[in-house]
């Protein structure tokens, strides 16, 4: 019997291909890992409600969402790290003045502070999800938010980075940036899970392809970058597998000896 390991998978560009499809080889590999008794978890920048269908399809009940800010173990919330609401209110006022819309996000839903905007349509459309943010400029009041989306062209987020030190800003689309609590990352969220699960570092694995995966890939001993990842991401990982389009997950799991 092989020793049990925990394996963390990013979603976009890792589990899902460019068309947001799950390759059949990836699905089969995930179920084979589970049959062998390994702990399979998701680590994503997405909100929990943005990958419910994928969790059901793969029967995954443990995940790190919002780039580490909302962590669930076996369908129970293990860790939550909300945004500073007073700072977010000030940022929202500045963004509105600059015609940069924002979308507020908690664990259940997302709402936009403007009725409609092309930047929101353009970037959310790339996620290929069924839900679109409705208009509610006061959604941030009286609830915990784990991420906010700021919509602005590349480079224009710098003014917010300089002024709002409570937050980290991570670009994920040419017109959209994730706003996260300062110091929050997938690596931090994973740390909370691993503490609880008790896997030694040599039994921890992670697969990713994006800039928001770099901390995770640096923190996890057996890290694997996808072949479709940027060079900076590949340089952060111990291994590099094939592209997601080319059975990269299956190949990577075989490469590290898990399958």
Q: Which residues are catalytic?
A: 10
Q: Measuring CA to CA, which residue among 177, 172, 246, 234 is closest to residue 208? A: 234
Locate 259 and state its tokens.
Answer: 């399958």
Judge contact between 209 and 244, C-beta under 8 A: yes
- Cα angle 111-115-116, degrees, rounded to a multiple of 5: 100
- Residue 79 CA: distances (Å) to CA of 25, 64, 75, 168: 32, 9, 12, 19
The alpha helices in the chain, defined as continuous H runs, are 24-35, 52-58, 85-97, 118-125, 158-163, 186-197, 214-219, 231-235, 248-255
The alpha helices in 169-213, defined as continuous H runs, are 186-197
Distance between CA atoms of residues 235 and 232, nearest Å: 5
Judge contact between 63 and 71, C-beta under 8 A: yes
Judge contact between 5 and 258, C-beta under 8 A: yes
- Cα angle 140-144-146, degrees, rounded to a multiple of 5: 95
């Amino acid at each position: 019997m092989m020793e049990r390991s925990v394996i963390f998978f990013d979603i976009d560009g890792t589990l899902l291909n460019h068309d947001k499809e799950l390759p059949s080889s990836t699905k089969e590999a995930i179920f084979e890992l589970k049959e062998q008794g390994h702990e399979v978890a998701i680590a994503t920048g997405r909100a929990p409600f943005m990958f419910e269908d994928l969790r059901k399809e793969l029967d995954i009940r443990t995940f790190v969402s919002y780039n580490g800010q909302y962590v669930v173990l076996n369908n129970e919330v293990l860790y939550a790290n909300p945004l500073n609401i007073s700072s977010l209110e000030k940022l929202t006022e500045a963004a509105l003045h600059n015609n940069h819309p924002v979308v507020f996000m908690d664990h259940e839903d997302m709402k936009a502070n403007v009725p409609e905007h092309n930047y929101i349509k353009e970037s959310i459309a790339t996620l290929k999800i069924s839900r679109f943010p409705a208009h509610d400029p006061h959604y941030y009041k009286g609830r915990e938010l784990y991420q906010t989306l700021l919509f602005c062209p590349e480079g224009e987020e710098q003014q917010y980075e300089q002024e709002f030190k409570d937050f980290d800003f991570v670009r994920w689309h040419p017109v959209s940036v994730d706003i996260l609590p300062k110091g929050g990352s997938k690596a931090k969220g994973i740390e909370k899970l691993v503490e609880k699960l008790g896997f030694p570092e040599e039994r921890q694995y992670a697969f990713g392809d994006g800039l928001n995966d770099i901390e995770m890939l640096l923190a996890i001993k057996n890290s694997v970058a996808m072949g479709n990842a940027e060079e900076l991401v590949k340089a952060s990982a111990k291994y590099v597998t094939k592209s997601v389009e080319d059975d990269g997950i299956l190949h990577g799991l075989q490469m590290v000896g898990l399958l």
